[in-house]
Amino acid sequence: MSDLTRIPAPEGVAPAAQYTHVVSATGRLVAVSGQLALDAEGRIVGEGDAAAQARQVFENLRRCLAAAGAGFDDVVKLTYFVTDMAHMPAIRAARAGHIPDDRLPAASAVRVAGLVRPEFLMEIEALAVVAP
């Protein structure tokens, strides 16, 4: 694990809800492309079901991080691209299965008009820093 410092509420900035404002890290950067709700054979998981898609996306993120010698403890930033902000509770629930509330990374959530295929409700990318 890299040397991480989390600053959830810098002076003069409103407290963060469901993310950390600042994460400082030293180590090797791992960038994980946006992951979609696809299984290992490329089939969509949970069409029309935000909770099922979020679980699959976080499982794909876990596998990608592991392939680079990283884990969710090393994640410093998550970016959520969602077609409807109503999907955020499902995403937070799936995230909670991998990242405890006291280790939340920096995050951005962006509502998008659509993703690469209309069946996808979300795409999530990650940045991690692993100790050198």
**Which pLDDT value is given to residue 18?**
85
Q: Are 37 and 52 in contact (CB under 8 A)?
A: yes
CATH classification at residue 46: 3.30.1330.40
pTM for the structure as a whole = 0.91
Tens-digit pLDDT string for the chain (132 aa): 567 788 888 899 998 888 888 888 889 999 999 999 999 999 999 999 999 999 999 999 999 999 999 999 999 999 999 999 999 999 999 999 999 999 999 999 999 999 999 999 999 999 999 987
* Residue range of the domain that includes 106: 3-130
15-34 as b/e: b if 16+ CB within 10 A = ebeebbeebebebeebebeb
Q: How many domains does the chain have?
A: 1
